[in-house]
Amino acid sequence: MKLAESLANAGRTDAAAHSYMLAAETAEPHLVLELRRRAAEQWLTGGHIDEGVNALRAVLEVGSMRLAKTPRSALLSLLARRARVKLRGLHWVRRPHTEIAPDRLMQIDTCWSVATTLGTIDTIRAADFQARHLLLALSAGEPYRVARALAVEAGFAATSGGKGRARAAVVGAAARALALELQEQQPHALGLSMMISGMTGYLMGDWASALRDCDAAEHILLERCTGVLWELTNARRFALSSLAFMGHVSELGKRAPKLLSEARERGHLYAETDLRTRLMTLTWLAQGKPELAEQNASEALARWSQQQGFHLQHYNQLLSSAQCALYRGEPAAALERMDTKWPLLERSMLLRIQALRAEILYARGRALLGALGSSSRASEAEVWSVASRLVGEKMAWTVPLAALLMAGVHHRRKQLDTARAELERAVAGFDAVDMDSCAAAARMRLGELLGGDQGAEQCTIAQRFYDAQAIADGQAFTRMLAPGFGDV
């Protein structure tokens, strides 16, 4: 057991899981289930999905629980449990853990393991268990477990984006208040709360706030906690994702390679896959190496589970592949790749997450726009439909994405005044939400359209950004973010 704990603290998840399972073979009966739960948690944290799910199912069976067989059945279960949460409310009565039956605490901890470790892999199944986790924790009333459950609930509430903003804020504030109260005895609650706050900011499109909270969470987790690899990994993940959305490629290029090296050294498959399929793609594209980005994403996904469905990691590889094709000026190829995987993506329920839905819609809209006239799959009506859906998301960061797409359609129609107005709207919108790379691409297109001194000024501003971020090929970067304009 002590060896397993030491390995877990060192981030050696696979070795830790094997040690926990070995300990369970000769442990006293009351410890066996807990050790197997910890083993499952380690495997899932490290990205060893098949081993983790198999171990988890054995633990769940003892507690009369099970993972949903399909994303659809998980959704139905989730909706039923969320209705119970709504009827019950968030009130709870404080009780020390000594007054709560051990099997009830074990149930709560098992639900915590599922909700967290599957949360950034198989989100819909994780959400189902989070609803159960919250109900059990509130009913039991043990403060630390309530703090954990409230924090994670805030994160899941934020996945719906703007629609979940109010609930995420209320639940997150309750989690933070309780975490502050417990921080001397349980600093993990505060680190978790800060990490979820960063995740929530990311899901709401508040990239600067997300980056600040994730960095603060990383500091707390490193300085005051042990055995928090999942929390640390995701604090770093959402920090890097925020940098990517802002287009701060230079800082991304400083942080991400170090984390990739560390993940490989520890055999941390989850972190390595996340970095190679998504978080480092922008870094490699900034270096002018789309082939390297595609190779890394494909190799990483080949090592991922092929048995448990379409995960967030499959989505990441799909998006990365589309980005690379757009960077190379191959929008029809990007469109074909997305069309091939779209049914799997829809069945996975990942599109229920607003940030993912809007992100992949923008990628699809760009591919459609760039492929107009060269692919039978693309039409102006489809581009317009994607733009309308992005506007319908009603988020400050999705509206300028729509404006950039609509500018391309108007440009193609030779409606240059309208195209210019949409580009100006896109630039202003991107500036307002710190999406600097998208703003630079929109400025470059605006400058090309305006021409003369005014146009040259816009192009110069965009190029300065590319130079500051060490982006090797500003033209290719512009083509990736704003394709389909052609020659003015």
Determine the Cα–Cα distance for residues 479 and 440; give it in Å rounded to an integer.
Answer: 11
Q: Which of 336, 345, 338 is nearest to 320 (CA)?
A: 338
Angle, CA of 311, 128 and 16, to the nearest 5°: 60
pLDDT over 90 (residue 377) = no
Query: Measuring CA to CA, how many Å separate 338 from each of 245, 320, 356, 360, 389?
Result: 20, 11, 14, 9, 17
Region 323-347: what's the mean pLDDT?
95
What percentage of the chain has pLDDT greater than the value 90? 93
Region 31-52: what's the mean pLDDT?
95
Band (384; pLDDT cuts 50, 70, 90) = very high
Q: What is the DSSP letter of 133?
A: H
Band (444; pLDDT cuts 50, 70, 90) = very high
Band (488; pLDDT cuts 50, 70, 90) = very low
With beta carbons less than 8 A apart as the criterion, state whether 417 and 454 touch. no
Whole-model pTM?
0.94
pLDDT at 154: 97
With beta carbons less than 8 A apart as the criterion, state whether 287 and 256 touch. no
Band (484; pLDDT cuts 50, 70, 90) = confident
Contacts of 376 (CB under 8 A, 6+ apart): none
Q: Which of 253, 332, 287 is nearest to 474 (CA)?
A: 287
Determine the Cα–Cα distance for residues 254 and 442; give it in Å rounded to an integer.
Answer: 26
pLDDT at 428: 98
- Token pair of 450, please? 């305006």
Q: Is 273 left (phi over 0), alpha (psi -120 to 50) or beta?
A: alpha
Region 412-441: what's the mean pLDDT?
97
pLDDT over 50 (residue 178) = yes
pLDDT in tens, 457-470: 999 999 999 999 99
Place of tokens 């829809």: 346
pLDDT in tens, 94-109: 999 999 999 999 999 9
Band (487; pLDDT cuts 50, 70, 90) = very low
Contacts of 123 (CB under 8 A, 6+ apart): 159, 312, 349, 350, 352, 353
Residue 288 identity:
G
Contacts of 182 (CB under 8 A, 6+ apart): 143, 144, 147, 189, 190
Region 60-72: what's the mean pLDDT?
88
Q: Which of 313, 384, 322, 379 is nearest to 344 (CA)?
A: 313
Coil, strand or helix at 374: coil
pLDDT at 69: 87
pLDDT at 442: 98
What percentage of the chain has pLDDT greater than the value 70? 100
Determine the Cα–Cα distance for residues 366 and 325; give it in Å rounded to an integer.
Answer: 11
Band (194; pLDDT cuts 50, 70, 90) = very high
- Token pair of 335, please? 């469109």
- Token pair of 401, please? 């994405």
Determine the Cα–Cα distance for residues 234 and 198; give it in Å rounded to an integer.
Answer: 10
pLDDT in tens, 268-313: 999 999 999 999 999 999 999 999 999 999 999 999 987 778 999 9
206 Cα distance to chain centroid: 14
Mean of all residue pLDDT scores within the chain: 95
HSE-CB for 280 with a 13 A CA cutoff: 25
Band (368; pLDDT cuts 50, 70, 90) = very high
